Amino acid sequence: MSESPYWNPRHETMPREGIEALQLRKLRNLVAWTQAKVPWQAKRLKAAGVDADSIRSLDDLRRIPMMTRDEWMGAQLEEPPFGPLLAAPQEVAMRYHLTSGTTGRIPLQVLDGMKDWEWITEMWCYGFWGFGVRPQDVVFFAFSYGTFVGFWGAHYACEKIGCLVLPGGNMTTEARVKQILGMKATVVCSTPTYALRMAQEAKALGVDLASSPVKRLILSGEPAGSIPATKKLIEDQWGAKAADTAGMTEVGTIMIFECEKQPGGTHIIEDHYIEEVVDPATGAPVPYGELGERLITSFGRGFIPVLRYRTRDLVVRMPASACSCGRTFDLYEGGIRGRVDDMKLVRGTNVYPRAVEAIVREFREVDEFRIHLFTADGIQDEIEVLVEIPDASADANAIVNRLRTSLSEAHEGLRFGVKKVESGSLPRFELKAKRLQDDRIVIGTAGERRVQG
Amino acid sequence: MKNSMGVELTESERVLMECYQNLVKVLQRDDLAPFERRNALKAVAALWQIANGLDLDPGQLYHIGA
């Protein structure tokens, strides 16, 4: 039997009506489990008039109330540490993780049982296998192995596949680059930002990464893995193909992955999730091709059932036919486009950090950057982009001027300040990069004064 | 043996499902030594993924400790 390009060939190539039948059956089971085991959720379902028997088609999904992160956090505060959300006793759990803390006041805390943890690794297997990772690969993880779930599941997925796994926690960037080369790693896993950081380090060490055995990069943790200019920069510097993936602690693992065909988007693992795309303001569904917010329903982790969770992630859904890989799983074109709450209003113009990064990355001489929002003269908000241009032979003034013009043209003529700063002065990141600093005390030209403190 | 989608399992898939069902059964007994129980739990957690991927609707395993 020839090797399948799919982790689960039956599901990944199932006709749409089969996927929907499977999702409907799993949805009924999930609602029944939730009703029986999580009184806090059962109360919400009952108030909405929903029970397992009343789920007759996928349209009935929309009768289930959406759940927000604020509600989850509130429940945790009410009954620390996990809130009234657990469907099984804590004694059965064998993993504890929490969110990375980039959004929200307090991190969300989650538990997994053995079967859940295996499922978490299973989702990563869809991604790794789908991008061509095989047992003979040597996989390096540039990951700190803390309480943030990050690449934990990916590590165990690669063990399951049978790869030789190199756990690169607690190492300097230099030591990581040296181990990647010394152990002849063929696959490297990191955030997009850190992939660039390692490439910088390799350059400083006089190493040509493009001639190394690394053939694949698996990126996660930031939207940049699907920003074409950033991805191209990473691929060129490493001489390797890069695949975007995205996951969330709330479900414990990834829900989307890019396949070997690299269609410019990420497949949704539709046999384990129902993903909806809605208007973030009204909650109404949006059609294929339109930007909206992801809602997720997960059939995986049974410990904390997740039904119609508002992710705040912005996506554009496309039919499976947009990719030639043969999977029948739909895609998110461009991966995660950003977050609903990422958008900044600057003198009446919407600014998305991802869009700024897409432009900055077209300027190959720029090594690192930061977006800085501040209030000028106590009344007006301003935006500036700080850039590092380490190459002394580059015409920095010309680059700064061209970048300023490009940013302004892409933002309805909005005035951007662009400043060259000393090389190495901007922060570097291993996990999720935080390149936006908002120091404004006034939002908008005649906007509200931000509450200080 | 057919799955929840009405698809007949192959002979290999049937064997795997028998392993899974036997493990679930044996893990409900109380005469297992620690090394037997804990290794069987790891195995059943892995085989659950196959049952789930084959649309056998395996439910949850918390009651047996997985």
For residue range A146-191, list pLDDT tens digits in order. 999 999 999 999 999 999 999 999 999 999 999 999 999 999 999 9
CB A416 within 8 A of CB A383: yes
Give the best residue of B47, B50, B52 to mutate against chain A (max A CB count within 10 A). B52
The tokens describing A268, both together, are 């949704």
- A365 within some domain: yes
Shared domain for A386 and A255, answered yes or no, is no
CA–CA separation, A205 and A187 (whole Å):
20
Q: Flag whether residue A118 sits within 8 Å of chain B, measured between CB atoms.
A: yes
Q: Report chain A residues whose CB lies below 8 A from the CB of B48.
A: 115, 118-119
Is there a domain that residue A446 lies in? no
State whether A334 and A385 are in the same domain: no
Tell me if A146 is assigned to some domain: yes
Structural tokens at position A413:
């003529």
Question: CB burial class (10 A; 0-12, 13-18, 19+) of residue A248?
Answer: buried
Alpha-carbon gap: A246 to the closest alpha carbon of chain B (Å): 21
Q: Please state, in angstroms and rounded to a whole number, the distance separating the CA atoms of residues A52 and A260.
A: 38
Which parts of chain A register pLDDT below 50? Answer: 445-447, 451-453
Structure tokens at A238: 């490493």
Residue of A nearest to B45 (CA): A115
For residue A450, is it within any domain?
A: no
Is the same domain home to A356 and A336?
no
Number of Cβ within a 10 Å radius of residue A82: 18
pLDDT value of residue A418: 96
Domain boundary among A283, A312, A340: A340
- Distance from the B66 Cα atom to the nearest Cα atom in chain A, whole angstroms: 5
pLDDT the model gives residue A445? 46
In a domain, A125, yes or no: yes
pLDDT at A453: 32
Determine whether the interchain pair B61/A29 forms a contact, defined as Cβ–Cβ distance below 8 Å: no
Q: What is the 3-state secondary structure (H, E, C) of chain A?
A: CCCCCCCCHHHHCCCHHHHHHHHHHHHHHHHHHHHHHCHHHHHHHHHCCCCHHHCCCHHHHHHCCCECHHHHHHHHHHCCCCCCCCCCCHHHCCEEEECCCCCCCCCCEEEECHHHHHHHHHHHHHHHHHCCCCCCCEEEECCCCCCECCCHHHHHHHHHHCCEEEECCCCCHHHHHHHHHHCCCCEEEECHHHHHHHHHHHHHCCCCHHHCCCCEEEECCCHHHHCHHHHHHHHHHHCCEEEEEEEECCCCEEEEECCCCCCCEEEECCCCEEEEEECCCCCCECCCCCEEEEEEEECCCCCCCEEEEEEEEEEEEECHHHCCCCCCCCEEECCCCEEHHHCEEECCEEECHHHHHHHHCCCCCCCEEEEEEEEECCCEEEEEEEEECCCCCCCHHHHHHHHHHHHHHCCCCCCEEEEEECCCCCCCCCCCCCCEEECCCECCCCCCECCCC
- Using an 8 Å CB-CB cutoff, list chain B residues near A21: 5
Does the ipTM exceed 0.85? yes
**B-chain residues near A119 (CB < 8 A):** 48-49, 52
Structure tokens at A118: 């295996």
- CATH number assigned to the domain comprising residue A248: 3.40.50.12780
Q: Which domain holds residue A419?
A: 344-438
Beta carbons of B42 and A114 less than 8 Å apart: yes
Kindly tell me the sign of the dihedral angle through the C-alpha atoms of A411, A414, A420, A421: negative
pLDDT for res A28: 98
What per-residue string of b and e applies to A305-331 under the rule 16 or more CB within 10 Å gives b? bbbbbbbbbbbbbbebebbebebbbbb
Is A452 contained in some domain?
Answer: no
Q: Do A18 and B61 touch (CB under 8 A)?
A: no
Asked if A252 contacts A300 with a C-beta cutoff of 8 angstroms, the reply is yes
How many contacts (CB atoms, under 8 Å) link A and B? 54
3-state secondary structure A104-134: CCCCCEEEECHHHHHHHHHHHHHHHHHCCCC
Minimal-distance CA residue of chain A relative to B40: A114
Q: What is the mean pLDDT of chain A?
A: 93
Contacts of B66 in chain A (CB under 8 A): 92, 113-115
Number of neighbours of residue A419 by Cβ within 10 angstroms: 12
For residue B49, CA distances in Å to A34, A116, A150, A248, A393 come to 20, 9, 21, 20, 56
Q: How many domains does chain A have?
A: 2
Residue A451 lies in a domain: no
How much is the pLDDT for A1? 72
- CA distance, residue B25 to nearest chain A CA (Å): 16
Cα A184 to Cα A191: distance, rounded to the nearest angstrom: 20
A22 CB within 8 Å of a chain B CB = yes
Q: Kindly state whether residues A332 and A405 are assigned to the same domain.
A: no
Last residue of a domain, one of A313, A340, A367: A340
Amino acid at A15: P
Indicate yes or no: CB of A113 within 8 angstroms of CB of B59: no
Per the document, the length of chain B is: 66
**Is position A332 within any domain?**
yes
Q: Flag whether residue B45 sits within 8 Å of chain A, measured between CB atoms.
A: yes
Q: How far apart are CA A235 and CA A231, in angstroms?
A: 6
Answer yes or no: do A328 and A389 share one domain.
Answer: no
Residues 6+ apart with CB under 8 A from B38: none
For A69-106, the pLDDT digits (tens) are 999 999 999 999 999 999 999 999 999 999 876 555 68
CATH number of the domain bearing residue A420 = 3.30.300.30
CA distance to partner chain B, nearest, from residue A38 (Å) = 14
Backbone angles phi, psi at B18, to 5 degrees: -65, -40
SS3 B54: coil
Residues A327 and A374 in one domain: no
Inspect the interface and report whether the beta carbons of A22 and B45 lie closer than 8 Å: no
One domain, residues A336 and A382: no
β-pairing verdict for A368-376 and A380-388:
antiparallel
Task: Show which of A295, A321, A340 is a domain's final residue.
Answer: A340
A88 shares contact with chain B (CB less than 8 Å): yes
Contact predicate A108/A306, CB 8 Å: no
Contact A115 B53 (CB under 8 A): no
**Contacts of A306 by beta carbon, 8 Å cutoff, 6+ apart:** A67, A250, A251, A296, A297, A298
With beta carbons less than 8 A apart as the criterion, state whether B61 and B52 touch: no
* Residue A122 contacts B where some CB pair is shorter than 8 Å: yes
Q: Which burial class, exposed, middle or buried, applies to A447 when counting CB atoms under 10 A from its CB (0-12, 13-18, 19+)?
A: middle
Say whether B45 and A118 touch across the interface (CB within 8 A): yes
Radius of gyration of chain B (CA): 12
